[in-house]
């Protein structure tokens, strides 16, 4: 995925015709092509470390799906660093943490985003025990309910190196997209993250190489594809 200009986190919504938007549509298409043998209803995004671009990529991908007419539920399951509320400029007073702790009803926490077909569950207040909440069984139960009303559920998660949260969420998904910031993380750590995901039987369906600066000729050659299987 190419480098975005600072102000355009939700480029899909600002400029649908840009080459960067085309890149996010390519991610969508690639996911659709990897569905040939099993349906990918719940997709989680993770990475090795923080700051590699999970939130930016998943937000734009969610818009790409919604623009295609799919009913999308985007969930901020990165309970330690809630961020989707600022991307979509909504309140984070209640969210996933409250739902998992049985502190609110699901209807109250599914927010509209101003983007047709795109619903959002923010992370909610940071809880003292994110891993326990995510693994309690409640999230799995809720996902089954949401699957009935949404065509696709996208879950933003924590990076997998430091805490178990991202792995717990990944293990509940039908497929995981692994975001790698080009040149940032040691190859060895990336390999370890991959092993951790395999250990919890998460199925990695693709890798997004993010922030990559391409030369002009490289860009022409690859037409800004930022995804590889």
| Per CB under 6 A, 53 contacts ligand ADP | yes
Output the six-digit token pair for 5. Answer: 């200009």
Identify the H or E element spanning 33.
Answer: helix 19-33
| Per CB under 6 A, 165 contacts ligand ADP | no
3-state class (DSSP) for residue 228: strand
> Shortest approach of ligand ADP to residue 149 CB, angstroms?
26
User: Of 156 and 174, which has the nearer Cβ to Mg ion?
Assistant: 156
Touching ligand ADP, residues 193-212 (CB under 6 A) = 210-211
Tell me which of Mg ion, ligand ADP, none is bound by residue 166, counting a contact when its beta carbon lies within the kind-specific cut-off of 5 to 8 angstroms: none
Among the listed ranges 49-57, 93-101, 186-194, 201-209, the one in contact with ligand ADP (CB under 6 A) is 49-57
| Per CB under 6 A, 54 contacts ligand ADP | yes
30, 47, 92, 97: residue in contact with ligand ADP (rule CB under 6 A): 47
DSSP 6: T
> Shortest approach of ligand ADP to residue 144 CB, angstroms?
26
Q: How far apart are CA 108 and CA 138, in angstroms?
A: 16
> Using an 8 Å Cβ cutoff, are 58 and 100 in contact?
no
Q: How far is CA 30 from CA 24, 25, 151, 187, 208, in A?
A: 10, 9, 17, 24, 11
Among the listed ranges 2-10, 96-104, 142-150, 197-205, the one in contact with ligand ADP (CB under 6 A) is 2-10
**Number of DSSP helices (H) and strands (E) in the chain, helices first:** 11, 8
Among the listed ranges 26-34, 44-52, 186-194, 199-207, the one in contact with ligand ADP (CB under 6 A) is 44-52
The torsion angles phi and psi of 75, rounded to 5 degrees, stand at -120, 130
């Amino acid at each position: 995925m190419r480098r975005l200009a600072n102000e355009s986190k939700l480029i899909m919504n600002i400029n649908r015709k840009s080459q960067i938007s085309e890149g996010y549509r390519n991610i969508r298409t690639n996911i659709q092509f990897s569905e040939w043998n099993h349906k990918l209803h719940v997709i989680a995004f993770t990475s090795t470390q923080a700051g590699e671009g999970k939130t930016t990529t998943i937000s734009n991908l969610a818009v790409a799906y919604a623009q295609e007419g799919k009913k999308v539920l985007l969930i901020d399951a990165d309970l330690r660093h809630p961020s989707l509320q600022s991307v979509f400029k909504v309140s984070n007073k209640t969210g996933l943490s409250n739902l998992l702790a049985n502190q609110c009803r699901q209807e109250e926490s599914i927010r509209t985003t101003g983007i047709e077909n795109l619903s959002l569950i923010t992370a909610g207040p940071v809880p003292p025990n994110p891993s326990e909440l995510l693994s309690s069984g409640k999230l799995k139960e809720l996902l089954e309910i949401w699957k009935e009303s949404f065509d696709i559920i996208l879950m933003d998660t924590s990076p997998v190196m430091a805490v178990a949260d991202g792995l717990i969420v990944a293990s509940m998904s039908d497929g995981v997209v692994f975001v790698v910031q080009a040149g940032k993380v040691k190859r060895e750590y990336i390999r370890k993250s991959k092993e951790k995901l395999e250990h919890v039987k998460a199925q990695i369906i693709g890798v997004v190489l993010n922030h990559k600066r391409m030369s002009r000729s490289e860009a022409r050659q690859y037409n800004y594809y930022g995804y590889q299987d």
